[in-house]
């Protein structure tokens, strides 16, 4: 079926055909083959409805934290509506009171002493800039990242990821080295006086929500200090309350030289990312302050949205609510484990940064399908398909959490059946 350009698709079948012909034939085929004929329609709070309204899912993926506050949170929407009354994107060459205010608020809230922020649109852009700052400041080229981690699909960020992400497009940018996450000895061997920076996610999500040992990140910090390398921490998914603290790093008592933010900073409403760094690193831009630009980064109309997100995420009551929900889910999975001994291994968890670890690599994809059939959106970890990412919105109440656990129970039963158990 061919749909002419300019024709508005009205049915799910029309949308799938139009998407396949004009956006991605591969994605359309993937979901149709998997039996997930879901087309996003209305969305509100923790819920997304199918286009025709006959299917509703609870969003337990949240696009990696984009929807930490649920879909279309009224306070966040109001911030954008009010902003649109007087603002547009603005001109990135000019001085902006809105970018200045947002950067000052980040300086107040970020760990350690990170007084400067450069804004971008997405996380990959923020990571790219972090590498540029590290190389420009140190005069070194080597960047060390963790195997199985993920920092984006843009140029330099792509080179810090696993080969399967860049191999189809040719050779990566030079100067990148990978070591196993959590392996201090391997990192100690890799870091040298030629290392510009080490970049790590506080909790690698794409690698299956791998929560580090308490002493790992402090030892990484010490290794960086010993060799004069910078520590870049990727808080794109762990930041803004997901772990029960404003920043995931707070659980480990470590302060970075550079921290990158994204996803949740948008409030799910307006794209925004940030690269926050120590004051002396800003010297990279002294000779030419226009050496790095982002036309849409820190768009003025989006700054009030990000400020609203920060105010909500930093609220002690909000963070206490996340911690309470985390304890509730921990208890719930402890009760589910003996019910599903042939499939469920454990819950990997730091606050509401959660991953459902199962017995083999078939389980993640099977759970994603079973969860969908039982009204949950949960996506398996691409770099460790034994694990299903489990990231409910931070604003849900205990009643909905109980409902989610019942659906997880049913999904695990289905996975056991599909495995022949």
Closest CA to 355 of 345, 370, 340: 345
Q: Is residue 3 in a domain?
A: no
What is the rounded distance in angstroms from the CA atom of residue 357 to the CA atom of residue 347?
Answer: 6
Q: Are residues 360 and 231 in the same domain?
A: no
Q: Are residues 301 and 260 in the same domain?
A: yes
DSSP E strands, 148-203: 176-180, 195-201
Residue at a domain's end among 313, 335, 365: 313
Q: Which domain holds residue 386?
A: 39-72+316-418
What is the rounded distance in angstroms from the CA atom of residue 418 to the CA atom of residue 335?
Answer: 22
3-state helix, strand, coil in the chain (%, to 5): 45, 15, 40
Rounded to a whole number of angstroms, the CA Rg of the chain reads: 22
Backbone angles phi, psi at 142, to 5 degrees: -75, 135
Over the stretch 301-328, which tens digit does the pLDDT of each residue have? 999 999 999 999 999 999 999 999 999 9
Instruction: Give the pLDDT of residue 172.
Output: 86
* Alpha-carbon distances, residue 395 vs 59, 63, 168 (angstroms): 12, 15, 39
Closest CA to 36 of 409, 367, 412: 367
Q: Is residue 111 in a domain?
A: yes
Over the stretch 381-408, which tens digit does the pLDDT of each residue have? 999 999 999 999 999 999 999 999 999 9
Indicate the pTM of the whole model: 0.96
Instruction: Give the pLDDT of residue 3.
Output: 44
What is the rounded distance in angstroms from the CA atom of residue 200 to the CA atom of residue 178?
Answer: 11
Over the stretch 98-131, which tens digit does the pLDDT of each residue have? 999 999 999 999 999 999 999 999 999 999 999 9
Q: Are residues 383 and 354 in the same domain?
A: yes
Kindly report the CATH number assigned to the domain that includes residue 405.
Answer: 3.90.1150.10
Residue at a domain's end among 296, 313, 330: 313
Instruction: Give the pLDDT of residue 6.
Output: 56
Low-confidence ranges of the chain (pLDDT < 70): 1-7, 9, 421
Q: Are 268 and 71 in contact (CB under 8 A)?
A: yes
Residue at a domain's end among 313, 346, 380: 313
What is the rounded distance in angstroms from the CA atom of residue 360 to the CA atom of residue 353?
Answer: 21
Q: Two tokens at 58?
A: 């609870």
Q: Is residue 31 in a domain?
A: no
How many domains would you assign to the chain?
2
Kindly report the CATH number assigned to the domain that includes residue 133.
Answer: 3.40.640.10
CB atoms within 10 A of CB 129: 25
Q: Are residues 291 and 357 in the same domain?
A: no
């Amino acid at each position: 079926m061919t749909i002419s350009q300019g024709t508005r698709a009205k049915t799910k079948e029309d949308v799938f055909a139009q998407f396949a012909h004009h956006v991605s034939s591969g994605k359309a085929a993937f979901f149709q083959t998997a039996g997930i004929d879901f087309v996003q329609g209305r969305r509100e709070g923790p819920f997304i409805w199918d286009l025709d309204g006959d299917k509703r899912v609870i969003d337990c993926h949240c696009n990696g934290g984009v929807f930490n506050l649920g879909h279309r949170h009224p306070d966040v929407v109001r911030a954008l509506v009010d902003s649109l009354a007087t603002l547009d994107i603005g001109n990135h060459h000019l001085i902006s009171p809105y970018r200045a205010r947002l950067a000052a608020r980040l300086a107040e809230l970020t760990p350690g002493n990170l007084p400067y922020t450069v804004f971008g649109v997405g996380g990959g852009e923020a990571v790219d800039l972090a590498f540029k700052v590290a190389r420009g400041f140190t005069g070194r080229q080597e960047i060390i990242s963790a195997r199985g981690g993920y920092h984006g699909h843009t140029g330099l960020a792509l080179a810090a990821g696993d080969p399967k992400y860049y191999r189809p497009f040719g050779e990566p940018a030079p100067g990148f080295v990978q070591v196993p996450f959590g392996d201090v000895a391997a990192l100690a061997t890799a870091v040298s006086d030629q290392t510009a920076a080490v970049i790590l996610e506080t909790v690698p999500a794409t690698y299956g929500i791998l929560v580090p040992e308490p002493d790992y990140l402090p030892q990484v910090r010490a290794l960086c200090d010993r060799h004069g390398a910078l520590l870049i921490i990727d808080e794109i998914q762990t930041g803004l309350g997901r772990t029960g603290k404003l920043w995931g790093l707070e659980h480990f008592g470590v302060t970075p030289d550079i921290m990158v933010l994204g996803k949740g900073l948008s409030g799910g409403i307006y794209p925004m990312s940030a690269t926050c760094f120590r004051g002396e690193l800003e010297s990279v831009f002294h000779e030419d302050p226009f050496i790095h630009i982002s036309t849409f980064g820190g768009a003025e109309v989006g700054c009030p949205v990000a400020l609203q997100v920060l105010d909500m995420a930093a609220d002690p009551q909000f963070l206490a609510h996340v911690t309470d929900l985390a304890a509730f889910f921990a208890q719930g999975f402890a009760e589910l484990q003996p019910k599903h001994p042939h499939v469920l291994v454990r819950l990997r968890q730091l606050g509401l940064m959660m991953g459902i670890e199962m017995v083999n690599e078939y389980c993640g994809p099977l759970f994603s399908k079973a969860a969908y059939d039982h009204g949950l959106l949960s996506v398996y970890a691409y770099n460790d398909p034994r694990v299903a990412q489990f990231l409910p919105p931070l604003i849900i109440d205990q009643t909905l959490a109980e409902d989610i656990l019942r659906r997880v129970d049913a999904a695990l039963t289905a996975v056991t059946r599909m495995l022949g158990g």
